[in-house]
Structure 1
Amino acid sequence: MLTKHVQTRLSKLMSKILRHSPEQFGLQLDSVDGSCEVVDLLQVLRGQSGWSELSLSDLEEVVERCEKQRFEIIANRIRARYGHSHDKVSYPTGVPPIVLYHGTNAQAAPMILEQGLRPMQRQYVHLSEGLHFATLAGKRRGELVILNIDTVKASRAGIKFYYAGNEVWLADAVPAEFCSIYEHKEEWSE
């Protein structure tokens, strides 16, 4: 079993490879879903300094225990569920819950409420079904602010939502008129 510190280091390296720069590591991802063979990723990871003894069970442990559920393994293939900055990954459109949440910070919130949510350097805007993932995403950048996204009105206006799995939803962008501040701060820590 890996220590929490080692899990975090490995998760960050996997994110770098699967989400941002697979080509830097000589890894070719599927152009549709961003996946690769687990054995190919394992080989790439073992080639990195300090990871030569990495086992398949270590890799599976990180996938299973990652608090943000960044990765998934399906039929011997692994992929990052979301957060890609390289080639655009496709996701199925879906009908999200009535409200989704987006975690941000007090500095960015006024601009979002004026201009809407944009993907910035990512391919999509990340949204979550519950407060837990929104809190994890938002609290690392300063004073936490959680936004409500009215998906019913947004969908009626033509905004498409994509399901990335494990309570994570994506959108190309969300106009400001569908965003509002979630006022129940006492629930953020649940």
Structure 2
Amino acid sequence: MIRKCSKHGYFRGEECPQCGIKGRYVLDSEREERLGRFISGVLRHFPREVGLKMDDEGWVDFELLCSLLKSRYKWATRERLISLVESDEKQRYEIDDSRIRARYGHSVDVDLDYPDNELPSLYYGVSQEEVDMLLENGISPIRQTYVHLSTSYGKAVEVAQIHTENPVILEIDAEKARRDGMSIMDANEDIALMEYVPSDYVCIFDGR
């Protein structure tokens, strides 16, 4: 459920996490999920199929998207789309004036323009069956334009456990990769993006 606090803006849940007030109702959980699924598809995978033009950096026209939503779901107001974006703890989307885009997760070709990542190490969780292959061949995108790396060990574990019970965490030598001229971008505070991670920069995280 999405609600709005008059002081702290949109939030998900029953009470504002900052001040504890209940706030104004904006969107129920079922419609939040339906709207989120559709927005994810449109901004990451099939903009052209629904009649939206996406530029090279993944942006589409915000008002056109609002009109499209309204034609599909009578309840999908402009405010509800904004609330979905601003209350999302995973920072999946961003609005810039008259444009909106997904911050990561694209399967369509995009040329994102985020700031350079400056962390010395990044992390990637995999199943035990995948480890040897990735250590030998490097990490390539799977159904996405970029490899999504975690900025912390804990986040890598959290993401990997969605797919496997006992993940192995790989460590990426981001500092060396940058020295060698490879581009690494920050999508948000938890996710960094690379087009491909060569095996030279990948090892099993040893906990040190």
TM-score norm. by structure 1 comes to 0.82
Partner residue of 1:27 out of 42, 49, 52: 52
Partner residue of 1:46 out of 47, 51, 70: 70
Contact 2:117/2:192 (CA < 8 Å) preserved in 1?
no
Encode CA deviations 1:22-43: one digit per residue, 9 max, x unaligned: 0110011122x21122211112
Equivalent residues in 2 for 1:53-72, closer than 5 Å: 53-72=75-94
Equivalent residue pairs, number: 181
Equivalent residues in 2 for 1:35-184, closer than 5 Å: 35-48=59-72, 51-92=73-114, 94-131=116-153, 133-143=155-165, 144-183=167-206
Gaps of 5+ in 2: 1-25
**Residues of 1 paired with 2:123 and 2:29: CA distance?**
27
TM-score norm. by structure 2 comes to 0.76
Partner residue of 1:17 out of 38, 42, 46: 42
C-alpha distance 68-120 of structure 1, shift in aligned 2 (>3 A): same
**Residues of 2 paired with 1:118 and 1:174: CA distance?**
7
Post-superposition offset of 1:16: 0.6
Hey, what does 1:187 align to over in structure 2? Answer: none
Hey, what does 2:5 align to over in structure 1? Answer: none
**Residues of 2 paired with 1:142 and 1:25: CA distance?**
34
Gaps of 5+ in 1: 185-190
C-alpha distance 164-127 of structure 1, shift in aligned 2 (>3 A): same
Post-superposition offset of 1:59: 1.0
Please report the RMSD computed on the Cα atoms of aligned residues, expressed in angstroms. Answer: 2.2
3-state SS of paired residue (1:111): helix
**Which aligned segments of 4 or more residues in structure 1 are displaced greater than 6 angstroms?**
none
2:31 corresponds to 1:6:
yes
Pick the structure with greater CA Rg. Answer: 2
**Residues of 1 paired with 2:42 and 2:161: CA distance?**
24
Which is further off, 130-139 or 167-176?
130-139
3-state SS of paired residue (1:101): strand
Percent identical pairs in the alignment equals 34
More helix by share: 1
